[in-house]
Structure 1
Amino acid sequence: MKHMLLLCLAASAFTGCGQTKPDSNTDSSGDLSGPPKIVVSTWVLKELTEGLVAGGAEVVCLETSLKAQRLSDSQISELQSADLTIVNGAGMEPWLQTVSLPRSRLLDSTASSSAELLQADGSITHQHGPNGPKDPAGLIHSTWLSPRMLLRQCETIKKRLSTMDIDGTRVSEGHAANELRISQLTAKIEALQRVSLTVLTSSTETGWLIHELKWKQRVIGVDYMDFTEASAAEQKLQPYMQARLVLTTDLEAEATIGGLSAVQIDLCLDSKKNVSLFDRLEGNLTRLEEAVGVLSGEPSRSSETSE
């Protein structure tokens, strides 16, 4: 009997007999023969990551609805086959509470800035300190509207990619290109900061942009399109008339809302054919420059350049 037991143990070492189920907390990849597979939770992260890896990895975006609570079986399968999953953080992925992923294969791109995340509270956004309470459901997740936060997210992703089997030169070159575009966005932000404004918005998701501009924000829960007459809209907005602009995330909104100039802010939640993330972010700032130029009676820098 003793000899038979020894033979069985020896055989199991070669045939796989007696193997235990893999631990879900250990790092493993689906396909070791091909390039690394990276799954990202947003289109913004997909464009940033693809720019960094420059073809050195397969980048797949989870097609989830905004703040989805759960993932489908196929989406979970994508996560399980990934070498790395990158999420935005800042409360954007509640589904993280329902799936089990090894920490070694999960990257929260805003984790290093957790003490600075903005939380919406009624009609204003405010900033908690390091020890302040954070309600993930109430965090403003569109961090990429802030060039400063976007740069940190890029740096976080770059640092993690440097530990993977991806050409480091490609990653560095991609990061340098991202830094250049972000510096251009920062320059526009700094120019707009010289103007002191109060703006109206029906969405807290523009909070990161307004925070960087150092403008005051008044959030109002009004469906502006419900008003058929401008006078009715103006009456409803009377308590907020210290505002001089309306920021709207409705890209098909009218040019004026309630008697105020409306500026369309693209949240970049979905991909847009032949238009890059940085071009769309720059477009937001260009529209703000033009609106501010009209308010001050001066031509905007962008309109001067186009002439």
Structure 2
Amino acid sequence: MILNMQRTILLLVLFSVLTLCACQPSPRSKEKKTAENETPVVVVVNYPLQFIVESLVGPEYEVLNPVPPDANPETWLPDDVMIQTIQQADLIVTNGANFADWVKKLSLPRSKVLRTSLSLKDALITVPDFEVHSHGTGGAHSHAGTVAFFWLDPALMARQAEAIAQRLIEIDPQQKESITANLKKLKESLKSLGKKLDQLQAEFPGLHWFSERPVYQYLAQRCDWTMHHLHWKPGVVPTEHDWDKLKTIQQEHKISFLVWEHQPKENRVKDLAEHGIASVVLDPLTGKPAQGDYVSEMQRQLEQLEQFLKQHQLESVKSKK
């Protein structure tokens, strides 16, 4: 009798233990649930890519542009804490074409990196004299390089967006419908920039113009314009040789203006004016604008460029009379 009672009690204890264990989630299922509840992090290297990702996803994603507002996204380097944050992100969207020094210098998990330039292989522009510099006493020479500012052509920016959308859907298939709808809206908004460029191309066909460095080639190609970059470094006073080179190109192609990425110093504008070169600013928006977003700010700048070209054209006609 006592033995039977002991057996019964033992069986009840074992049953209770097994029931309790069955109700407890396994460590693996706990990890999975935690991972599902975490907000996916997408790291980007510049503002145009940030704009694309933010246009495609909602609050279920965290979009991280680690570059401080006052830093140059091409040369900025992260500290140790930010490096860890970047490496732990769910997706790292890079531009490609050697844009952003930190991408080349950090050890990034390849499975997490999306290089958007790979979707544009057929459209990439290579400049034979991309960078002119000298090493020690070796004399000046140049290196070929790919122009990285793809987003200045709205059609290429749309292709970057398509590549990003595809990867986001692979990460979270449940968001496919939402991401696809947002991609359609984004591409529609970019069409307004394309229409503006069509208008500029029709109004000012065959333009030749200067820039300090290779930045605007994709925009120029979109409008069938021609860029001539001078390799002038910011903050460095042009030499007599630099001015002679400008004059030679200026006379050969009848160039009368230079497009700046940012507002130039007054003395530089004055020096150029004395050489018959007017100045206009077109910020490529590698950093977030103070107002608006990529589309609205680029639209404003293209309208500003149109007004400059009309005024400049009018002044040129007057000077010839």
Do Structure 1 and Structure 2 share a fold, with TM-score over 0.5? yes
- Following superposition, the deviation at residue 36 of structure 1 comes to 1.4
Relative distance call for 1:286 and 1:71 in structure 2 (3 A) is same
Q: What number of residue pairs does the alignment pair up?
A: 260
In 1, are the aligned partners of 2:128 and 2:144 still within 8 Å (CA)?
A: no
SS state of the match for residue 122, structure 1?
strand
Q: Which is further off, 96-105 or 52-61? A: 96-105
The equivalent residue for 1:49 is: 53
SS state of the match for residue 255, structure 2?
coil
How many angstroms apart in 2 are the aligned matches of 1:235 and 1:214? Answer: 27
Give, as a single letter, the amino acid of the residue that structure 2 aligns with 1:279. Answer: S
What is the TM-score of this pair, normalised by structure 1?
0.72
Cα deviation 1:39-75 (Å, max 9, x = unaligned): 1111221121011102221111122744348643222
Correspondent of 1:220 among 208, 214, 230: 230
Correspondent of 1:101 among 108, 111, 119: 108
Unmatched tracts of structure 1, length 5 or more:
1-13, 17-27, 125-134, 228-232, 299-307
Q: Which is further off, 30-39 or 108-117? A: 30-39
How many angstroms apart in 1 are the aligned matches of 2:77 and 2:86? Answer: 13
In 2, are the aligned partners of 1:91 and 1:137 still within 8 Å (CA)?
A: no
Cα deviation 1:198-233 (Å, max 9, x = unaligned): 111112112222222211222224579989xxxxx9
In 1, are the aligned partners of 2:213 and 2:232 still within 8 Å (CA)?
A: no
Do residues 210 (structure 1) and 220 (structure 2) align? yes
Relative distance call for 1:71 and 1:235 in structure 2 (3 A) is closer
The equivalent residue for 2:285 is: 268
Q: Which is further off, 92-101 or 35-44? A: 92-101
Relative to its length, the structure with more helix (as a share) is 2
Give, as a single letter, the amino acid of the residue that structure 1 aligns with 2:50. Answer: K
- Following superposition, the deviation at residue 184 of structure 1 comes to 0.8
Once superposed, what is the RMSD of the aligned Cα atoms? 3.5
Work out which of the two has the higher radius of gyration on C-alpha atoms and give 1 or 2.
Answer: 2
Do residues 249 (structure 1) and 256 (structure 2) align? no
In 1, are the aligned partners of 2:74 and 2:100 still within 8 Å (CA)?
A: yes
The equivalent residue for 2:211 is: 201
Relative distance call for 1:291 and 1:73 in structure 2 (3 A) is same
Identity fraction in percent: 22
SS state of the match for residue 271, structure 1?
coil
The equivalent residue for 2:93 is: 86
The equivalent residue for 1:34 is: 38
What is the TM-score of this pair, normalised by structure 2?
0.69
How many angstroms apart in 2 are the aligned matches of 1:224 and 1:76? Answer: 28
How many angstroms apart in 1 are the aligned matches of 2:130 and 2:83? Answer: 36
Relative distance call for 1:251 and 1:275 in structure 2 (3 A) is farther
How many angstroms apart in 2 are the aligned matches of 1:42 and 1:271? Answer: 8
How many angstroms apart in 2 are the aligned matches of 1:74 and 1:31? Answer: 22
How many angstroms apart in 2 are the aligned matches of 1:62 and 1:136? Answer: 29
Correspondent of 2:189 among 175, 178, 181: 181
